[in-house]
Amino acid sequence: MRIFSKSLLAAAALTLPLAATVQGAGHGDNPYASHIAARQGYMQILAFNIGVLGGMARGNIDYDAEAAQTAANNLAAMAGVDGRPTWPAGSDNAALGDATRALPAIWEDMGGFGEEWMAYGAAASGMADAAGNGLEALQAAIGPLGGACGSCHRNFRQSDD
Amino acid sequence: MRFLRFLVILAILGAAAGWYLTAPQSLAASDIPERDGDAEHGELVFWAAGCASCHAAEDAEGDARLIMSGGRAFPSDFGTFYAPNISMDPDHGIGGWSEAEFLSAVRNGVSPEGQHYYPAFPYTTYARAGITDLQDLWAFMQTLPADATPSRDHDVGFPFSIRRSLGGWKLLFASDDWVIEGDDLSPQVMRGRYLVESLGHCGECHTPRNALGGLDYANWLAGAPNPSGEGRIPNITPAALTWSASDIANYLRDGFTPEFDSAGGEMAEVILNMAHLPDADRAAIAAYLQALPASE
């Protein structure tokens, strides 16, 4: 009897927190899975549009002023999205492992992280001003755009391994 | 008794030979051509050699990457190294140096006071650089601003704290031979080899090291653990880097992978340097990387 109640207690102790987490998240054991999915989806929209512009800049696809302008406008519009709700404290790779490459440095330096977003906005506007004005103008604007992406990824995203 | 005297003499000779062999060797005056450095070309050498990546302040951007105030920390298995001030400040930087002192520092790893530098400063790869290129670099560095930030002492434990021991390290590991040998390489691959193996010092991160910190040339550019402790620096031989030459060259200019993800980590900073080079140099680096033996 004593053994039975003890193991029942232990089982309850093990199950309760698990049940609470699952209920809170609805996505397995990662409470921020939907936040991370939103962030990564946002980045994929950027990569898709940068792919159009970069493909033209590199000569992989023919320059098309209208398509270039559309892609650049999308990038500038994305810069206006307030993504703050998708970056809750604790949704970093130290807490969640491989689910995200977001480094804890984001939350240790939220001001610096915000400045990087502003710099992305400036580079995206620069591209929107340039993309429709010919291939050379587009090529001149792609470097600063890559610089803005890299500047943020340098400090705030886990490197590839 | 005679045998004992023999042993003592042998020990003294051994110590003398060791002392002689580990002595810091400055560049001989006869090795330095008499010419005025070309500062304009020196700027390209400056970016190719990545000086700003270590000697500019942490997080410096734009023109601030030309202020060589030092201070950045480099943790390693041997201790933490701090990049010194190499701005033109005469007291805290290198503004009081002669050209010969600068060349000995960069190529031989020897300070004007005749001490060995720690190889966190990649002089073992700069030793492969052309002297005229380094004269041009010196001419360019003299156009950069002075900054009065004092250099910070390295935090290195015994026995590495004895700088003379680095003479032994140099005997074991320093070599100015090319890693990829051959006189039949195309001029483009040779230019790429110069940029990768010498100025660009790519092997310092992309090649694994042995227990004493010497490069493992058998696994040249085949990837290595990140000295910061997290993750790995990627293999950039054709075994793993399967991008086209044009993709590699473009990545070094705008920082985008073929999938238009961006470079991150230290490499984002390397690209800030590489973006200053002419297209032909980035294409040469790509050609060299594609000519490497595939190494798993």
Q: B272: closest CA among B46, B93, B42? A: B46
- For B2, phi then psi, to 5°, come to -65, -35
Chain B residues whose beta carbon lies within 8 Å of the beta carbon of residue A158? 230-231, 264
B43 and B113 assigned to the same domain: yes
Domain containing residue B235: CATH number: 1.10.760
Is the N-terminal amide bond of B159 cis, ω within 30° of 0?
Answer: yes
**ipTM of this predicted complex?**
0.72
Where does a domain end: B143, B173, B203? B173
Chain A residues whose beta carbon lies within 8 Å of the beta carbon of residue B264? 150, 153-154, 157-160
B32 and B83 assigned to the same domain: yes
Please indicate, yes or no, if residue B244 is contained in any of the structural domains: yes
Would you call A54 and B266 a contact, using CB atoms and an 8 Å cutoff? no
Would you call B234 and A160 a contact, using CB atoms and an 8 Å cutoff? yes
Mean pLDDT along residues B221-227: 90
Would you call B264 and A58 a contact, using CB atoms and an 8 Å cutoff? no
Which of A113-117, B260-264, B278-282 has the lowest average pLDDT? B260-264
Pair B264, A154: CB distance under 8 Å:
yes
Where does a domain end: B145, B173, B201? B173
B103 and B201 assigned to the same domain: no
State the pLDDT at residue B266. 85
B66 and B145 assigned to the same domain: yes
Number of domains chain B contains: 2
Q: What CATH number does the domain located at A32-156 have?
A: 1.20.120.10
Chain A residues whose beta carbon lies within 8 Å of the beta carbon of residue B257? none
Chain A residues whose beta carbon lies within 8 Å of the beta carbon of residue B230? 158-159, 161
Q: For chain A, list residues with pLDDT below 70.
A: 1-28, 160-161
Where does a domain end: B173, B206, B233? B173
Please indicate, yes or no, if residue B60 is contained in any of the structural domains: yes
- pTM comes to 0.84
Please indicate, yes or no, if residue B99 is contained in any of the structural domains: yes
Per-residue confidence at B212, pLDDT binned at 50, 70, 90? confident
- Segment A65-83, tens digit of pLDDT: 999 999 999 999 999 999 9
Provide, rounded to the nearest whole percent, the portion of chain B with pLDDT above 70.
100
The range of the structural domain enclosing residue B192 comes to: 187-291
Round to whole Å and give the CA distance between B296 and B289.
Answer: 14
Please indicate, yes or no, if residue B17 is contained in any of the structural domains: no
Would you call A159 and B267 a contact, using CB atoms and an 8 Å cutoff? yes
Would you call B254 and A47 a contact, using CB atoms and an 8 Å cutoff? no
Closest partner residue to B261 among A47, A58, A142, by Cβ?
A47
- Segment B120-165, tens digit of pLDDT: 999 999 999 999 999 999 999 999 999 999 999 999 888 778 888 8
Round to whole Å and give the CA distance between B265 and B274.
Answer: 15
Q: B270: closest CA among B293, B292, B290, B248? A: B248
